[in-house]
Amino acid sequence: MKYQYIISTILGSSILFGALNACTPNKTILEQVKNSGELRVLTRNAATSYYDAPNGPTGLEYDLTKKFAEYLGVELKLRTPNSLNDILADISNGNAHVAAAGLTITKEREKLVKFSVPYQYITQQLIYKSGNTRPKNIFDAKGHLEVIANSSHAERLVKLKSKNQNLHWYESNTEDNLELMHLVSEEIIDYTIGDSNEIALNMRFYPKIRVAFNVSKPQPLAWAFPNSIDSSLINEANKFILALQKSGELDSIIRRHYGHVDNYDYTGTKTFLRHVSKRLPRYKNQFETAATKNNLDWRLLAAVAYQESHWNQHAVSPTGVRGLMMLTRATAKHLGVRKRTDPIQSIRGGALYIRKLLDKIPSDITEPDRTWMALASYNVGYGHLRDAQIITKKRGGNPNKWIDVKESLPLLRKRRWYKKTRYGYARGTEPVHYVENIRSYYDILAWHQETQLEQKIDPSKLAIVSPVL
């Protein structure tokens, strides 16, 4: 384990806080935060923590720290260091007030920082690719096992190795466990370990990934604070978290970010066909009318609606968008949609929005690339699409071709790329899957319309990766 660098910073932390207290001998850290008017928080760009969505900043850690800042009556100031190691070093050095980055409480980390009361519990899990032999336990996992360096997963493996010296693994300097999941999916490595919350969110992007077993018992996630004698701020944070727990608001926030994972099966063949038969007839006329008015193919409009809501007019996402076309409140208002759960209004609004996005795409981008890029911007936002096009050009690709842009979109979750962009971090893998799923649904709807067949459709037609242009 490479904690030597972090441990060496503890002395600096005590000196820094001693200096701060010397400057303001009668003021606690909590008072200093309130007097300065800002809460300085370290976090990480990740789906489970903080990222910039089309509606603005979101993520569990963002929502919680934003509420904490409001509770204190100050502004939230976020910073995203390069790595987990940097987050731990910075907070132990007193370079921020709080580190909120999905940090598991471990014995090694407790030597460096103070932890708040837990706000969530996770379990470490080993994942492998479906079709390969499922290992029974960690010592049965023969092959290439790779985890993030200095992570709680690496700590857990060190502890397990004390029971069996034949346990071996590699440690990666990657910033995101999603990257290791991708390597497992592509069979570049055999196994990785992740936290159950991250795996639950990301498995839908890699449908061939499976959980083999739990590597740990439930472990607490908590905020980290500098190891200072002054406990005024951490005490206030504990009061805040416990109040959220008691009121049920904490559980509601967690469900908003994670509760949808098991409820949406966007690529299920049987589910799709059942909905074509049972749900589509209710809305088909509205799709056709709205599509005609906006010069769209009704089957494309219907495919977008299915990807968004499974043709459920009462659908609500974890970020608060709702209705058949899953419009945000701001977008609905801009489009003149007063009631998002009204299917006619939602379909009309969604069709108009797609038309506006299509018209926004530069004229030198031709079909079908024009449509795929408009749909990607429907999902991730036009600004992030433009960032991906710029990255595509820098990498020698054609920014006007979806086949090239879709290779660059996932790079928006990698710091070395997004730090150079205007709009920053985005879950760039998601719009790629989003567009490919819609293409698949469109193909099936077109086939269904022509043949009126509702059974014996090749399941590969609904694969998450459809044929490229």
Residues whose CB falls within 8 Å of the CB of residue 11, separated by 6 or more in sequence, listed in order: none
**288 in catalytic set:** no
Q: For the stretch 299-318, what's the b/e string if a residue is b when 16 or more beta carbons lie within 10 angstroms of its beta carbon? A: bbbbbbbbbbbbbbbebbeb
Q: Could you tell me the two tokens for 81?
A: 């260091």
Nearest to 152 by CA among 193, 91, 206, 209: 193
- How far apart, in whole angstroms, are the C-alpha atoms of residue 194 and residue 164? 21
**CA-to-CA separations, 183 to 34, 146, 274, in angstroms, rounded:** 45, 10, 34
Q: Which residues pair with 221 in a beta bridge?
A: 104, 120
- Phi-psi group of 224: left, alpha or beta (phi > 0 → left; psi -120 to 50 → alpha; rest → beta): beta
DSSP letters for 393-457: HHTT--TT-HHHHHHHGGGGGSHHHHTTSSS----THHHHHHHHHHHHHHHHHHHHHHH---S--
With vertex at residue 176, the alpha carbon angle to CA 173 and CA 181, rounded to the nearest 5 degrees, is: 105
226 Ramachandran zone, left/alpha/beta (phi>0; psi -120 to 50):
beta
Q: Map tokens 């991730």 to a residue.
A: 380
Catalytic residue selected from 308, 407, 430, 454:
308
Catalytic residue annotation: 308
